[in-house]
């Protein structure tokens, strides 16, 4: 893996009526070529600011931002134009030109760049529209399209100059859940086909869970947690991350608390990942170590390509610690909550 994007000690504030409004503090992040990197945070956390620094739509007040090892803040006019061709962007509200057709919208960045002939532009636009499934809509106007189709135009337009990085700013937040899934699937496909690096910001953990390899949690302008999505999702270490995970899973913390109070014995959370998810381990361990158990909550699903299961158990019996060792040996994560 090679690093394609790096934030080093980046800070940003806005000047509003003679006052500094802090947006980002001391951000350090590294994105590897070819990965899908998610940034999650509440509204106002600084996500859009962070992503807009990459193609210098905003300038940092401190720190360095390296794209392919080059500090973008040092680029001259020409360098900046080259950078922007190499970094595509899509937006929550699509930002299409309403007076131009679908094909003209996709052709727009190519015309601006002035590097391609009309013939080249035409064939490239046709290929892009085909890729995003909109060939039949080439001469329609944005107002004639659904939200999902508009975002597909946005994606085609962002890919027109063959960028190596695609920035997505809440790209599915205006879409219904089903359309969201189909847009996420398209992003996943182009990530793999083109080895395109994607940096995606969202306030929805389910978007992160479906698409991303790694994630950083942003809160009040600071990265409070980052890592593999599987790790952050199954074992969120920061209260803000925990809230995002619980929200997406509809976990009712009060109900859990009630369950805790009504069950005696030990409380254990077991996490299965990958192949162990499908093994009939629970019954075997309970029998072998003569334990009684009750399941207080559970979820079995997948995170991108990794199946997982997580169970909250109340346990009673003489040989609990042997049973927990048994689980650990089998590759499960065991958390002793009580
Ligand atoms: N152009 C701007 N001028 C002044 N303050 C801004 C500007 N853009 C963002 N901010 C402020 O910076 C903080 C981070 O905003 P933003 O990056 O848009 O967060 P997010 O995308 O996570 O909602 C907020 O406090 C916001 O009000
Ligand atoms: Mg934003």
pLDDT tens digits for 253-279? 777 778 778 888 899 999 999 888 888
Three-class SS string for 169-191?
ECCCCCCCHHHHHHHHHHHHHHH
Count of helix runs (H) and strand runs (E) in the chain: 12, 14
Tell me whether residue 253 is in a domain: no
Of 222, 248, 274, the residue that ends a domain is 248
- For residue 19, report the distance from its CA to the centre of ligand 2, in Å: 21
Q: What is the rounded CA–CA span in Å between residue 338 and residue 320?
A: 12
| pLDDT at residue number 31 | 98
CATH of the domain at 291: 3.30.70.260
Is residue 238 located within the same domain as residue 271? no
- Please compute the mean of the pLDDT values over residues 118-128 and round it to a whole number: 97
- Please compute the mean of the pLDDT values over residues 273-291 and round it to a whole number: 90
Q: Helix crossing, 281-288 with 320-329: angle to 10°?
A: 150
- Please compute the mean of the pLDDT values over residues 156-170 and round it to a whole number: 97
Q: What is the rounded CA–CA span in Å between residue 163 and residue 261?
A: 55
Is residue 63 located within the same domain as residue 197? yes
Is residue 164 located within the same domain as residue 307? no
Is residue 44 located within the same domain as residue 118? yes
- For residue 44, report the distance from its CA to the centre of ligand 2, in Å: 7
* Cross-strand bridge partners of residue 217: 40, 225
Q: Give me the number of domains the chain comprises.
A: 2
Is residue 206 located within the same domain as residue 291? no
Of 208, 224, 248, the residue that ends a domain is 248
- Please compute the mean of the pLDDT values over residues 162-190 and round it to a whole number: 97
| pLDDT at residue number 338 | 86
Is residue 117 located within the same domain as residue 213? yes
Q: 248: pLDDT confidence band, cut at 50, 70 and 90?
A: confident
Of 213, 248, 283, the residue that ends a domain is 248
Q: 24: pLDDT confidence band, cut at 50, 70 and 90?
A: very high
Query: Is the predicted pLDDT of residue 6 greater than 80, yes or no?
Result: yes
- For residue 25, report the distance from its CA to the centre of ligand 1, in Å: 13
Atom of ligand 1 nearest to the CA of 203: 22
Tell me which of 44, 89, 91, 169 to substitute to probe ligand 1's pocket, judged by most ligand atoms within 8 Å of the beta carbon. 44
Query: Is the predicted pLDDT of residue 166 greater than 90, yes or no?
Result: yes
Instruction: Measure CA of the first residue to CA of the last residue in the chain; give whole Å.
Output: 41
- Which residues contact ligand 1 via a Cβ below 6 A? 14, 16, 21, 23, 41, 43-49
Is residue 126 located within the same domain as residue 241? yes
- For residue 43, report the distance from its CA to the centre of ligand 2, in Å: 6
CATH of the domain at 82: 3.40.50.300
Is residue 157 located within the same domain as residue 20? yes
Q: Where are the beta strands (DSSP E) in 50-161?
A: 62-67, 70-71, 87-91
What distances in angstroms separate CA 178 from CA 131, 169, 201, 299, one per listed residue? 20, 19, 19, 21
- For residue 47, report the distance from its CA to the centre of ligand 2, in Å: 5
Rounded to the nearest 5°, which phi and psi values hold at 288? Answer: -60, -35
Is residue 284 located within the same domain as residue 163? no
Query: Is the predicted pLDDT of residue 170 greater than 90, yes or no?
Result: yes
Residues 177-219: tens digit of each pLDDT: 999 999 999 999 999 999 999 999 999 999 999 999 999 999 9
Name the pTM for this structure: 0.93
What distances in angstroms separate CA 196 from CA 138, 152, 164, one per listed residue? 24, 16, 5
Tell me whether residue 254 is in a domain: no
Is residue 189 located within the same domain as residue 244? yes
Query: Is the predicted pLDDT of residue 249 greater than 90, yes or no?
Result: no
- Please compute the mean of the pLDDT values over residues 68-85 and round it to a whole number: 95
Atom of ligand 1 nearest to the CA of 42: 22
Is residue 236 located within the same domain as residue 326? no
Residues 220-245: tens digit of each pLDDT: 999 999 999 999 999 999 999 999 99
Mean pLDDT over the full length of the chain:
95
The whole domain housing 233 covers 3-248
Q: What is the rounded CA–CA span in Å between residue 27 and residue 65?
A: 10
Is residue 120 located within the same domain as residue 43? yes
């Amino acid at each position: 893996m090679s690093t394609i994007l790096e934030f080093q000690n980046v800070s940003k504030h806005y000047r509003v009526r003679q006052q500094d409004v802090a947006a980002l503090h001391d951000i350090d992040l590294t994105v590897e070529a070819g990965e899908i990197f998610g940034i999650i945070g509440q509204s106002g956390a600084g996500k859009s600011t962070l992503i807009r620094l990459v193609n210098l739509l905003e300038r940092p007040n401190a720190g360095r931002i390296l794209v392919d090892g080059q500090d973008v803040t040092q680029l001259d006019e020409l360098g900046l134009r080259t950078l922007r061709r190499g970094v595509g962007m899509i937006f929550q509200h699509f930002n299409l030109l309403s007076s131009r057709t679908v094909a003209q919208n996709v052709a727009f960045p190519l015309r601006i760049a002035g590097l391609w002939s009309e013939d080249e532009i035409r064939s490239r636009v046709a290929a892009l529209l085909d890729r995003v499934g909109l060939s039949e809509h080439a001469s329609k106007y944005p107002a004639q399209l659904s939200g999902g189709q508009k975002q597909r135009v946005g994606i085609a337009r962002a890919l027109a100059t063959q960028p190596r990085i695609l920035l997505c700013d809440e790209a599915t937040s205006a879409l219904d859940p089903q359309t969201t899934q189909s847009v996420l699937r398209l992003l996943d496909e182009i990530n793999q086909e083109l080895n395109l690096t994607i940096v995606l910001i969202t306030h929805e953990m389910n978007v992160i869970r479906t698409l991303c390899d790694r994630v950083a949690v942003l809160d009040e302008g600071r990265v409070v947690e980052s890592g593999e999505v599987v790790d952050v999702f199954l074992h969120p270490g920061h209260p803000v991350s925990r809230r995002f995970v619980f929200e997406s899973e509809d976990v009712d913390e009060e109900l859990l608390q009630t369950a805790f109070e009504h069950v005696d014995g030990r409380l254990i959370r077991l996490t299965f990942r990958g192949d162990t998810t499908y093994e009939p381990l629970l019954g075997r361990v309970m029998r072998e170590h003569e334990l009684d158990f009750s399941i207080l909550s559970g979820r079995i699903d997948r995170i991108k390509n990794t199946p997982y299961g997580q169970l909250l158990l109340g346990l009673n019996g003489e040989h609990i610690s042997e049973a927990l060792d048994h689980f650990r040996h089998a590759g499960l994560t065991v958390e002793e909550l009580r």
